[in-house]
Every structure is written in structure tokens, then in C-alpha cells.
Amino acid sequence: MDKKPSHARTVIAYIVLIILTFLCLFFFYILIVNATRSHPQIQKGFSFIPGHSFMKNLRSVLNDANIPVISGIKNSLIVSSLSAILATYFSALTAYGLYAYDFKLKKPAFVFIMLILVMPTQVSAMGFINLITKMGMLNTLYPLFLPSIAAPAVFYFMYSYMQSSLPLELVEAARIDGSSEFHTFNRVVIPIMKPALAVQAIFAFVSSWNNYFIPALVISDNSKKTLPILIAALRSADFLKFDMGKVYMLITIAIVPIIIVYIALSKYIVAGVALGGVKE
Amino acid sequence: MAGITFKNVVKTYDNGVTVVPDLNLEIKDKEFVVLVGPSGCGKSTTLRMIAGLESITDGELYIGDKLMNAVAPKNRNIAMVFQNYALYPHLSVYKNMTFALELAKVPKNEMKKKVQWAAEILGLEPYLDRKPKALSGGQRQRVALGRAMVRDPEVFLLDEPLSNLDAKLRTEMRSQISKLHKRLGTTFVYVTHDQTEAMTMGDRICVMKDGIVQQFDTPQNLYDHPCNIFVAGFIGSPQMNFIDAQVKKADGGYALCFGDTKVISDRSELAAYEGKTVVLGIRPEDLHAEQSFFKEGNSIKAYIDLDEMMGSESYLYLEYAGQKMIARVPARYAKRAEENIELAIDVEKIHLFDKETEKAI
Ligand SMILES: Nc1ncnc2c1ncn2[C@@H]1O[C@H](COP(=O)(O)OP(=O)(O)OP(=O)(O)O)[C@@H](O)[C@H]1O
Ligand SMILES: [Mg+2]
């Protein structure tokens, strides 16, 4: 092996990665720095040096009666976690149904799900609001996570993943071993699907965490608001009370759970599940 | 412990292709039956019907005396070894083997004993904590066998379980499976397209072609009395030689004539074929170079196209009277390629087939 070119390549790779890392982390850094600065300081401009207003900003965020941050975090966590669990589990279940069983309406069912995939949320929003009003779910958290049960994009991802990683022999082997269909799904299919579930759980969690559109339509009680609505409310506060340090602090608080979730689940994505049951 | 009975079983797949047109088969209790046949003849389909993984279009399937058509696989009390192992990738070897036992609510210590017993027989003790990914092909194969063994099934189904192994391991596993059968005393149905496996392991062999059972008999009978040209050609390696021969009346019976050769047979069934052509089958080892076999007219003087020296014996690829033949002779009598050799046909060992129906005469 020639040492010099590979050495040069390593250097270039590092430079590129450092630039990318910098681009990614720069905004986080500015965000966190600004969360420690006071409103006047931020208005003066850019700074890489943290200020001394961290505790002050934190206190003013937590003590604002109009912005119930703690319950906002709680609501967001409930909604996002349930969305992630429901979306991944039920999408995997649906995908499994279409992948492992043969029945007459299999093709139409698949096409139907794919059609929903191309329909934007905004189109069906009015009907959705109508529906949940009639069901008495307006101004509750249910409409924020229950619809995740039907997630066509997640379904499609699961379906593709099964095609590549779930040999039907495994299902057959489980059947012969005396496993019921549901038991097979939970004990054989789900563990094999772990990497796919983790990836989709992150996406579902993050998109639900960031979701503003539906909660803004559905929720009116302050105590039931999720973080994105609170951030929006804070930003549109009247000019006199407007405090950039407070806004940055709230945003910082809002991204922490996402980072934690990502770190917690990324292990599964990177490690993957050992696939050796079937001869490659 | 149970036999398996197919009564007029038909299998048509959803795409309208009938793979098994009319299957009648009776597998006895504790028997080791091998299904052989060329690729795509419906062996796996048949096996999967026994397992319940494939629905039965028509007819009846019994395990023991119970009608199984509508019974789900999990209630059939069978174990199956898949061609590509189908081990649960997320479970350790130990957990793979206990998966079924846990479902059957077998007590923990009994489960442990069973796994230990199977692991000992299969030499898997050092690997019980590993995941399938960290095993070699042969080890995975043994885990697949072990997973079936611990279950005490009524019927053991194996679909080409050795096809992914190298020759040495295959030979070893072959004898292990035979031993296992003796030890367990369970009905075994074994699918393969390897005829060595079929001949060495089976109590009886079922030769299939296009979903139709050609012959179902003991290995010796299949070899000595194949019922048609297909079976004769399928069983035995190298393949049986088939020669078109004219039937003529002669002293002491009928003469089968081809080239300069006249083989005299006293089979009375040949009367109906006088003046017609029949197919004469002769196994490669029934062509002899030793002097003692030479009689009036039974010799062929053939040109050797190619010779394959196997050590103790040699395969000679011959051309005689416009037909290709293979002879298997002891090495010391063999000659080399591009020479001529004189060989005697052992008249006692010839097989005769109708040219039209391909059935044995
Ligand atoms: N799900 C299916 N749908 C339609 N046709 C099928 C299906 N499975 C198998 N077949 C067809 O049925 C025939 C028999 O298949 P089978 O798998 O039983 O063959 P086999 O004897 O096991 O062959 P091999 O030795 O190659 O494994 C083949 O022609 C195959 O194409
Ligand atoms: Mg097969």
C-alpha cells in the first residue's frame, strides 16, 4: 500500500468533516451563547463569548405566567413520544400485514396507502378539525398523536425494510415452532425491525415535536399548548416585553429533548441488528 | 410419532400453475423418506404442504390418522429445518433452540436439559451464547437441526439441509442426521436433489418429476429395478447408459442388436417387441474389462473419448456405434483416452425399457 496518497486523503477527509461539523454546530453554538446573553447584548450583535444572563433568562422563561413552559415540555413530550410509538408500531404492523400475508385486496390496499402518502396535511385539515370537533376531541391532546397510527410514509419505509431484511422463512419457522401470528410479530419481526423502528421513531418524534400547524388549530387552552406554540407566542409578544434572550432560552430548552432522543436511539441505528439468521 | 398419508392431493398456486397434480403417498411411522427429483419438480411444495405452510388445493393429508388440511402449522407438532436455516437473528443459539419450548411452556430446567442434550450431540456447546451471525455455515446448520431436535416432534421435515455445506461437512452431517433418526425414532421426510444423500439416508426414496411420483421404493430396489427411464437415469452416478437396440429372434431367446453387438436375453416379454427398437440400459459398472465376462457377442469395442481417473477406478467416456456411453472399470484394466478398449456387457444386469412409454419391460 502506498502511504502518501492515503495520508493526503485522510487530511482532506478531516478538513471536509471539520467544515461540515462546524456548519452543523455553529448555529447551535450561537443559539446557546445567545441564551446566556441579555436582550440589549443580543441586539448589539454577534458574539462568540457567552454572557452572564443564563439564570436570568431561564428564570424569566420559567416564571412567565403566559408561557407555561413546564407544561409545554410535558405536553410536547407526551405527544411526541406517543406519536413516535404509535407511528412506528402500527406502521410496522400494517407493513407486515401486507408483506407476509396473501389476500385478495392486497394490491388495492397498498395503492390506497400510497395515495394517502401524496396528500398534504393542509388539504385535509378542515375535515380533520370538523371530525375531531364532532368526536369531542377539540382542545385535547388526542388529535395530536392518535393520527400517527396511520403514517403512510413510515409504512412505506417499514415495507421496504422488510423486503430487504425480513425473510419469510423466519416467519414460517416461528409458525412451525408454535408461535401465534401476533406473538411472531412482537417477538420475531419487531426485534429484527429495530434499526428501522429507531430511525422512524426519531423522525416521528422530531416532526411531532416541531409540529406547529395542527396544534395551533386544535389547542386553545394555555395548559395544553405544546412548545412550538409557546415559542410562537413568545416571539409575537408585544414590543415592550419582547426579550430576545428569553426567546433563545426557550428555543434552547426546546431542542434539548430532541438531542437526548437522538443520542439515545442513534446507538441502535449505527449498531444495527445482527442479521445472520439467513445465509446471505 | 405418526405416519403421513397423501390422498389425491392437488396443489395449484395462485398464479394458476398446478405443481402437484395428484399425489398419493403413504409414509410409514418412524420411516426415513427422501424426496428426490430435479429442480422445480415440487419437492419443497410437497414438504411445505406437510408443514402446513402451503395450502392444499384438493385432496386429503393425514398425519397419523388426523386430517390435517385445515390445521395451522403451529398445531401440527412438526419440526422443520429450512434450506437457508431461518435462525432468529436477534436471539442467541440457546434462545433459538428454546423458542418453541418456551411457547410450549416447558419448565426451565427441562428446557436446559434438552438444549444441553442437543448441543452435546451436535457439538454446539461452545456456541450457545452466540448470535447466529457469529457462526459458520455448518454451525448454523447444526443450530437449525438442534432447534428441531429439542422439540420431540411427530414429524421431522428437512428441506435440502446440507446444500450449503462443503463436501466434507456434508458427509459428516449426513451420518449425523442418520444417527439422529435412529436415536429419535421419529418420521423423517428429507428433501434433496443429491442422490448420494438419498441413497445413503433413506429407508425409502420417492422419486418425483413434474409433481408426479415416479417410483417409491427402497434404495436397493430403485437401483436394481428402476420402473422407467427417468428413474434409471436419475439414480446412480455416473448415469446409466441408454442404447437403442433392435430386437431379433435368436437361439435361446432374443438378441438385442446394436453396432456389432448382439446381447442375448431370455426375457419372454421381448416377444411383443420382435423387430422393434427398445432401450437397453446398462450401468457403467456393468461394463467389464475382465476376460471372464466375455461371451459370444456381448462385447463392445469402443473408442475412448475421455478418461477420468478416480484412483481405484476410472470412468471411461466411450463412443460406440454412434452412441455415447460411460464405463466404470477398475483402474488396472483401464486404458487412456484416444485408445480403443474392448468391454463385455454383463447380460444379467441389463435393463430394458419401452422406447415409447419409457417404462421398464
Ligand atoms: N409461491 C409460488 N407461486 C407460484 N409458483 C410457485 C410458487 N412456489 C413454487 N412455485 C413453482 O412450483 C414448482 C415447484 O417448486 P418447488 O419449490 O416445490 O420445487 P423443488 O422441487 O423444491 O425445486 P428445488 O430443487 O429447486 O428446490 C416450480 O416450478 C416453482 O416455480
Ligand atoms: Mg426446493
* pLDDT tens track for A77-124: 999 999 999 999 999 999 999 999 988 899 999 999 999 888 887 888
Find the CB nearest B84 among A102, A192, A279.
A279
**Bridge partners, residue B306, by sequence:** B317
Evaluate: CB of B45 within 6 angstroms of ligand 1. yes
Looking at residues B194-209, what average pLDDT do you find? 92
* Nearest CA distance, B99 vs chain A (angstrom): 7
Residue nearest to ligand 1 atom 2, measured at CA: B13
Q: pLDDT tens-digit profile of B126-173?
A: 999 999 999 988 889 889 989 998 988 999 999 998 887 788 888 888
Residue A240: per-residue pLDDT = 66
Q: Please tell me the predicted confidence (pLDDT) of residue B152.
A: 85
| Alpha carbon of A169 to ligand 2 centroid (Å) | 13
Who wins on pLDDT, A269 or B283?
B283
What digits encode the pLDDT tens for the residues A46-57? 788 888 888 888
Ligand 1 site, residue B161, Cβ cutoff 6 A: no
8 Å CB contact of A279 and B134 = no
- What is the full DSSP assignment across chain A? --HHHHHHHHHHHHHHHHHHHHHHHHHHHHHHHHHTS-HHHHHH---SS--S-HHHHHHHHHH-TTS-HHHHHHHHHHHHHHHHHHHHHHHHHHHHHHHH---TTHHHHHHHHHHHHTS-HHHHHHHHHHHHHHTT-TTSSHHHHGGGGS-HHHHHHHHHHHHHH--HHHHHHHHHTT--HHHHIIIIIHHHTHHHHHHHHHHHHHHHHH--HHHHHH---GGG--HHHHHHHHHTS-TTT--HHHHHHHHHHHHHHHHHHHHHHHHHHHH-----SS--
A163-179 pLDDT, tens digit each? 988 999 999 999 999 99
Mean pLDDT, chain A, rounded, equals 86
Q: Which of A18-22, A68-72, B1-5, B340-344 has the lowest mean pLDDT?
A: B1-5
Which of B51, B87, B100 is the closest to A178 by Cβ?
B100
Q: Dump pLDDT digits (tens) for A153-210.
A: 899 989 988 998 899 999 999 999 999 999 999 999 999 998 888 888 888 998 999 9
Minimum-distance ligand to the CA of B42?
Answer: 1
A67 confidence band (pLDDT: 50, 70, 90):
confident
CB contact under 8 A, B74 and A177: yes
* Residue ranges per structural domain of chain B: 4-234, 241-354
- B44 CB within 6 A, ligand 1: yes
Above 80 in pLDDT, residue B1? no
A4 has a pLDDT exceeding 80: no
pTM above 0.90, yes or no: no
Q: What class has domain B4-234?
A: alpha beta
> Using a CB-CB distance cutoff of 8 angstroms, which residues of chain A are in contact with residue B13?
none
Class of domain B241-354: mainly beta
> Does ligand 1 lie within 6 Å of residue B40's CB atom?
yes
Banded model confidence at residue A5, pLDDT cuts 50, 70, 90: low
For A66-237, give the CATH class.
mainly alpha
ipTM: 0.83
Å between A102 CA and nearest CA of chain B: 10
Residue A271: what pLDDT?
Answer: 52
Q: How far apart are CA A88 and CA B117, in angstroms?
A: 40
